[in-house]
Structure 1
Amino acid sequence: MVTSEQITAAALELGVATITMTSVAQRLGVNHATLYRYVSGRDDLVRNAIDRAVTLTEFPQPNDDWQAFLRDTAHAIFDMCDTYPGIATELAGGTYSPMILQRGATLMACLTRMAFSPTDAVLALDLVTGLVIDHCRRAEQMDGRVPSASMPSRAELSSSWPRVEPGNEESMQNTIEAGQQAIEQSPRDWFDRKLRIALAGIAAELAPR
Structure 2
Amino acid sequence: MERRRTTPAGPAGRRPGRPATVTRAALTDAVLRLGFPGLTVSAAARELGVRHASLYRHVTGREHLIALALDRIIAGAPWPEPTGGWRTYLAGTAGTLWDLLDAHPGLAAEMAVSAPLSPVAVERMNAFGTALLGFGFAPADAVLACDLVVDLACDVHALCERIDGPHDPGAAHAAGALAPELRAEFTAVLAADPRSWFERKLTVVLDGIAAGLAPD
Matched, 1:155 2:168: yes
1:3-152 equivalence runs, <5 A: 3-93=23-113, 95-96=115-116, 97-143=118-164
Unaligned runs of 5+ in 1: 144-151, 165-171
Give, as a single letter, the amino acid of the residue that structure 2 aligns with 1:71. Answer: A
Q: 1:44 to 1:102 in 2, by over 3 A?
A: same
SS in 1 for 2:168: helix
Give the CA deviation at 1:8: 1.0
Give the CA deviation at 1:62: 0.8
TM (normalized to structure 2)? 0.83
Give the CA deviation at 1:17: 3.7
* Cα distance between partner residues in 1 of 2:140 and 2:24: 37
Give, as a single letter, the amino acid of the residue that structure 1 aligns with 2:156. Answer: H
Give the CA deviation at 1:208: 1.2
* Cα distance between partner residues in 1 of 2:54 and 2:100: 29
Percent identity, aligned pairs only, is 36
SS in 2 for 1:159: helix
Residue 169 of structure 1 corresponds to: none
Residue 198 of structure 2 corresponds to: 191
Residue 213 of structure 2 corresponds to: 206
> Are the aligned partners of 2:132 and 2:142 in contact in 1 as well (CA < 8 Å)?
yes
> Are the aligned partners of 2:41 and 2:55 in contact in 1 as well (CA < 8 Å)?
yes
The RMSD of aligned alpha carbons is: 1.9
* Cα distance between partner residues in 1 of 2:86 and 2:202: 14
Give, as a single letter, the amino acid of the residue that structure 2 aligns with 1:4. Answer: R
Q: Alpha-carbon deviations, 1:79-137, whole Å to 9, x = none?
A: 11111122210123465222212211110000000111111111111111111110111
Give, as a single letter, the amino acid of the residue that structure 1 aligns with 2:193. Answer: S
> Are the aligned partners of 2:30 and 2:44 in contact in 1 as well (CA < 8 Å)?
yes
> Are the aligned partners of 2:80 and 2:89 in contact in 1 as well (CA < 8 Å)?
yes
Residue 177 of structure 1 corresponds to: 184
17-26 vs 102-111, which moves further:
17-26
* Cα distance between partner residues in 1 of 2:37 and 2:111: 10
Give the CA deviation at 1:153: 7.9
Give the CA deviation at 1:159: 1.7
Highest CA radius of gyration, 1 or 2?
A: 2
68-77 vs 12-21, which moves further:
12-21
Q: Alpha-carbon deviations, 1:145-179, whole Å to 9, x = none?
A: xxxxxxx9852234212357xxxxxxx21110101
